């Protein structure tokens, strides 16, 4: 059984239900978490999707999400899509209704699940049917017709375990190096990793390119940022200088530089765009459109 926490939100902005779940022990090294979502809003909704140490699998049951990259290109993918490791933010948008399941895979879990060189998925969004064909459609249909989130998560578990059984094994040295980066919060010298593995720096980078999708130094930087975002999601007052040092940044200026690259602004701006009840982060364009929306003339519509 999954440990499921269902969070619901309702306000003048609209409403959503988020079913948050952790994977069973057999999938724990491969899946960070699940998020089932159902949303009904009175207007289109744009969210900023931040980079993190996860490969995001979106399985769509309702109207297709628009995905907008930082160059303004818009894509939609039937059944869903995969967003590989990246160091740029992107934007998703729906017209007011959205329903689906998000599976956040670890980088090494994604290697086993998708069975392709991970650099082929990094820095891009790939349609799920381009990877799995009809198998993707059948999976989405089975999940969409399930009576509840527990059943959906169980079916997703079974599917992922089958994929892993058929997928390639991750090289033991790469697994050890990734785990070491995670344990140290990204505070490990990459040259030391290579030396302890008995590899050249160049060989280690090549292995990460193939099996992780990013070189180790950039993965470590992304991990540090990812932990900072998780702290922001947890809420509460933040003293940014202390926050930066706790997470391994040299100082607050170092923290701000990373956030400007990964989010387009300082961490305080991201905090202001945080949605309640596990709702993620509004895009800056969404905030602006809400602020500029006319309030009406006070007369009843008849």
pLDDT tens across 10-28, in order? 999 899 999 999 999 999 9
All CATH 2.60.120.10 domain ranges in the chain, comma separated: 4-166
pLDDT digits (tens, 9 = 90+) for 71-110: 778 889 999 999 999 999 999 999 999 999 999 999 999 9
Burial class (CB in 10 A: 0-12, 13-18, 19+), 72: exposed
> Taking the domain 172-272, which CATH number applies?
1.10.10.60
Lowest average pLDDT, out of 56-60, 107-111, 183-187, 221-225, goes to 183-187
4-166 topology per CATH? Jelly Rolls (2.60.120)
Under 8 Å CB-to-CB from 161, ≥6 apart: which residues?
26, 27
Q: What is the pLDDT of residue 288?
A: 61
All CATH 1.10.10.60 domain ranges in the chain, comma separated: 172-272
List the structure tokens of 212.
């992780």
Dihedrals φ, ψ of 37, to 5°?
Answer: -140, 145
Q: What is the pTM of this model?
A: 0.91
């Amino acid at each position: 059984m999954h440990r499921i926490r269902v969070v619901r939100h309702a306000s003048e902005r609209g409403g959503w239900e988020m079913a948050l779940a952790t994977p069973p022990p057999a999938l724990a090294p491969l899946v960070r978490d699940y998020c089932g979502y159902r949303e009904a809003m009175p207007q289109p909704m744009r969210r900023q999707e931040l980079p993190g140490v996860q490969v995001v699998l979106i399985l769509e049951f309702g109207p297709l999400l628009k995905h907008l990259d930082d160059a303004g290109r818009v894509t939609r993918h039937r059944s869903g899509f995969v967003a590989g490791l990246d160091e740029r933010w992107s934007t998703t948008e729906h017209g007011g209704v959205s329903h689906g399941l998000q599976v956040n895979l670890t980088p090494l879990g994604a290697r086993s699940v998708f069975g392709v060189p991970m650099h082929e998925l990094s820095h891009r969004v790939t349609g799920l049917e381009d990877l799995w064909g009809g198998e993707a459609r059948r999976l989405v249909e089975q999940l969409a017709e399930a009576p509840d989130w527990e059943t959906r998560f169980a079916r997703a578990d079974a599917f992922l375990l089958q994929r892993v059984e058929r997928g390639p094994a991750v090289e033991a040295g790469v697994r050890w190096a990734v785990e070491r980066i995670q344990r140290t919060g990204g505070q490990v010298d990459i040259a030391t990793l290579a030396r302890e593995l008995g590899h050249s720096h160049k060989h280690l980078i090549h292995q990460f390119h193939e099996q992780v999708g990013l070189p180790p130094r950039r993965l470590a930087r992304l991990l540090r940022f990812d932990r900072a975002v998780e702290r922001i999601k947890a809420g509460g007052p933040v003293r940014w200088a202390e926050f930066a040092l706790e997470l391994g940044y040299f100082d607050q200026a170092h923290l701000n530089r990373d956030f400007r690259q990964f989010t387009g602004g300082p961490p305080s701006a991201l905090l202001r765009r945080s949605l309640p009840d596990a709702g993620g982060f509004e895009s800056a364009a969404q905030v602006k459109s809400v602020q500029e929306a006319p309030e009406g003339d006070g007369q009843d519509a008849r």
